[in-house]
Amino acid sequence: MKRSHTVVVGRHRVEGEYDAVQLDDGSFALSSEDYERLGLQAAIAVFQHVESITGEELRFARKAMGLRQPELAALLDVATETVSRWETGADPIRRQTMLAVLLYLEHTARQGSPVPLAMPGNDTSPVRIVAA
């Protein structure tokens, strides 16, 4: 049975559908996989439809991808402190950064990770989008 669930991404409320699982007590729940998928979809929807994002929205997107601040910093080729300043609102988030994160969100939704994983024995580094 399809149910709707509202996800709050910073200033935005995003509603998505999931396949409900009925519990023994008659209530409905969503699986952790559906919860993670809805989080990614909500972050993508926000990043696609707004002109700018807040630090809280960036933090939501980072967590939806399963990344820590140092990992997102490495993907964006910035210092971890820069990600921290963005997330706390101390520094503004540039449009190029927002678009780079959107690409990583979309890749995560399709492939399960923000970047291609290096194969054992393969010395090539992951593809990175550099936000100037």
- The type of residue at 102 is L
Q: If we measure between CA atoms, which residue out of 90, 87, 93, 37 comes closest to residue 62? A: 87
DSSP strand pairing (12-19 vs 21-22): unpaired
Bridge partners (DSSP) listed for residue 3: 18
Nearest to 54 by CA among 8, 16, 15: 8
What pLDDT does 18 receive?
Answer: 83
What is residue 115's predicted lDDT score, i.e. its pLDDT?
65
Domain architecture of the chain: domains with CATH: 2-111 (1.10.260.40)
Query: Average pLDDT by consecutive 10-residue portion of the chain (132 residues)?
Result: 86 86 88 87 92 96 95 94 98 95 92 60 38 35
3-state secondary structure of 8: strand
Question: What pLDDT, on the 0 to 100 scale, is given for residue 124?
Answer: 40
pLDDT value at residue 55: 97
Is the pTM higher than 0.85?
no
CB atoms within 10 A of CB 126: 12
What does the pLDDT read at residue 121?
Answer: 41
Largest separation between any pair of C-alpha atoms in the chain? 53
Phi, psi of 2 (to 5 degrees): -80, 135
